[in-house]
Amino acid sequence: AQTVTQSQPEMSVQEAETVTLSCTYDTSESNYYLFWYKQPPSRQMILVIRQEAYKQQNATENRFSVNFQKAAKSFSLKISDSQLGDTAMYFCAFMKPPTLDSNYQLIWGAGTKLIIKP
Amino acid sequence: EAQVTQNPRYLITVTGKKLTVTCSQNMNHEYMSWYRQDPGLGLRQIYYSMNVEVTDKGDVPEGYKVSRKEKRNFPLILESPSPNQTSLYFCASRPGPPPNGNTIYFGEGSWLTVV
C-alpha cells in the first residue's frame, strides 16, 4: 500500500527566508503524481504544485519549487522569499495515474504546519 | 466560475439525528469523492463515485452513506451521527478519464460537530 510521510509536524521561519518542507512516500508504482496542497486558516484546500513522476525536471510555480528524487522517493517543497500569507498547513499527496476502472484516490501525508513570522 | 459547493459549512448536531451534507459541482465532472480531515491524520477518503449510480467505499466508510443520482450532486449522509464523526469534511471532484483526471477541485469544507 502507498504511504506518504511528512516528518515535520511544525516549522517556523522569518519572513523572506527560504524554507523546505519534506515529504517521502512509499510505492511500487513507476508512474504517478505528487502534489503539495496548502490549507490556510480558512481551511480551503489550495493546490500549490504538482509533479508527474515521469518528468525528470522539477516543477516550479513562482516562489514554490520541488526537489523530486524518484529513486529516494522524496518530494520536498521549497518556498523562497517566504511571505506572511504562506502561513498554513501544507499537505503532500500521492496519486496513481487515473484509469477508467480504478479509484482516483489521493493518499495524504499528515501535514506540516508552517508559520511565517514577521 | 468552476466550483464545488458544500452545505452546510458549519453544523452542530446531536448524536443520532440524521443529517445530510450536500455537494454540488458545475464542471460536469464524472468523479466525485468525500474526505474527512482529522488532526494528525491528513485527509482520508470516505466514499467516491466514478459516475452516476456508481459509488464505492473509500478508507473510512463506516457510519456514512452516499448517493449519486445526478452527475452534479454527491450528498454525504450520516444516518445516525456519533461524536467520533466530528470532523472537517471535504467534497472533491475531477474529470474522469486521463489526461485531466489529476486536476482536483475541492469544496470549501464543512465543519461538523456531533455532541
| Partner residue opposite B88 with nearest CB, options A43, A93, A99 | A43
Chain B residues in contact with chain A using a Cβ-Cβ cutoff of 8 Å: 31, 33, 40-45, 48, 50, 56, 58, 88, 90, 94, 96-98, 101-102, 104, 106, 108-109, 111
Q: Which band of pLDDT confidence, cut at 50, 70 and 90, is reported for residue B101?
A: low
What pLDDT digit, counting tens, does each position of A79-95 carry? Answer: 999 999 999 999 999 98
Instruction: Quote the CA–CA distance of A48 and B94 in Å, as a whole number.
Output: 17
Nearest CA in chain A to B9: A43
Residues of chain A with pLDDT > 70, as a percent, come to 93
Query: What angle (nearest 5°) sits at the alpha carbon of residue A89, between those of residues A6 and A108?
Result: 45
Residues of chain A with pLDDT > 90, as a percent, come to 70
What per-residue confidence (pLDDT) applies to A100?
61
- Helix, coil or strand: residue A33: strand
Nearest CA in chain A to B55: A103
DSSP bridge partners of B41: none
Write down the H helix ranges in chain A.
none
Q: Which band of pLDDT confidence, cut at 50, 70 and 90, is reported for residue A109?
A: very high
| Mean pLDDT of the region A101-107 | 73
> Where is pLDDT greater, at B76 or A102?
B76
What per-residue confidence (pLDDT) applies to B94?
87
